[in-house]
């Protein structure tokens, strides 16, 4: 999950991940409101609009990301300092989740 804002300078690059995903990851974009018309500016993808997701995950300001494992638990969270940073850390967190669940070992690309 990427918590973004229409007035966040770094969010344009990060929003591309909501549209394209990355390395087999499904990326959900989260916005507080539509004032900036961000989904229209950034394109298709899965977008959650409203304060609820920010509140549930304890996010105070964008850009922020959470990696949620198949079991629904947060595997990793942090400041989203760039698309490559988010993808690299999300992939590592999901590999750790798979190992903890007993899945076959997968190599990082």
pLDDT tens digits for 69-105? 777 788 889 999 999 998 888 888 887 877 776 655 4
Domain annotation covers residue 47:
yes
Question: Is 67 or 107 the better-scoring residue by pLDDT?
Answer: 67
Total count of domains within the chain:
1
Domain annotation covers residue 105:
no
Domain membership of residue 45 as a residue range: 2-100
Question: Is 62 or 98 the better-scoring residue by pLDDT?
Answer: 62
Which among 77, 63, 67 has a CA at the least distance from the CA of 14?
63
Which among 48, 39, 50, 49 has a CA at the least distance from the CA of 16?
39
Task: State the CATH number of the domain containing residue 67.
Answer: 3.40.30.10
How many angstroms separate the most distant Cα atoms in the chain?
Answer: 44
Tell me if residue 18 falls in helix, strand or coil: helix
Domain annotation covers residue 22:
yes
């Amino acid at each position: 999950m990427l918590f973004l804002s229409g007035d966040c300078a770094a969010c344009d690059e990060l929003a591309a991940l909501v549209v394209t995903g990355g390395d087999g990851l499904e990326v959900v974009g989260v916005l507080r409101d539509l004032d900036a018309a961000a989904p229209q500016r950034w394109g298709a993808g899965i977008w959650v609009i409203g304060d609820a997701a920010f509140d549930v995950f304890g996010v105070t300001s964008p850009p922020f990301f959470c990696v949620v494992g198949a079991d629904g638990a947060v595997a990793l969270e942090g400041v989203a300092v760039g698309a490559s940073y988010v993808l690299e850390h999300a992939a590592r967190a999901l590999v750790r989740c798979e190992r903890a669940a007993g899945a076959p070992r997968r190599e990082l690309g």
